[in-house]
Amino acid sequence: MKQPFDNVGFAQVQASTISLDATALQATVQQIRSNFAQWMKDTFELSASQQEQLDDLEPAFRQDLADAVADSWAVRHPILFYKEEDGTAKERSVKDIILGRDRQKAQSVQSASVYTHEAVSIQIVYR
């Protein structure tokens, strides 16, 4: 069943995806990496204009999005996702998709081990 393309819908897809067994997760990650636009269309309820915007993304940027999602979910790391839902957002015509990939260091309390991992964020905002 397709999910709405909003913050809640993305969270539901993310939770179900990163909890898949290893084989199913690998297949999903491969699908995301190989045809991100089609995976989005199969997974989310997208309006005609959202589908057009997805298809019109610069191919290298669309692949960057695909790789960021696939890389993060392949290691079961959640993505920080925010899509502006403000009712006035629709009145503004320019939409920005902001992709962040940041290295972060963490240390577990009462442990000497420090590890580095990548945090992925995607924001969709209007201006």
Please tell me the total count of domains within the chain.
Answer: 1
Phi, psi of 68 (to 5 degrees): -65, -45
Residue 90 pLDDT exceeds 80: no
What letter does residue 5 receive in the DSSP assignment?
S
Average pLDDT, the chain: 93
Give the separation between CA 18 and CA 119, rounded to whole angstroms: 15
pTM greater than the 0.85 cutoff: yes
Q: Which residue would you say has higher pLDDT here, 115 or 25?
A: 25
pLDDT of residue 91: 60
pLDDT in tens, 27-43: 999 999 999 999 999 99
pLDDT in tens, 33-72: 999 999 999 999 999 999 999 999 999 999 999 999 999 9
Q: Which of 3-7, 9-13, 24-28, 89-93 has the lowest mean pLDDT?
A: 89-93
CA 43-49-51 angle, to 5 degrees, is 35
CA 100 to chain centre: 11
Domain that holds residue 44: 3-126
Residue 88 pLDDT exceeds 60: no
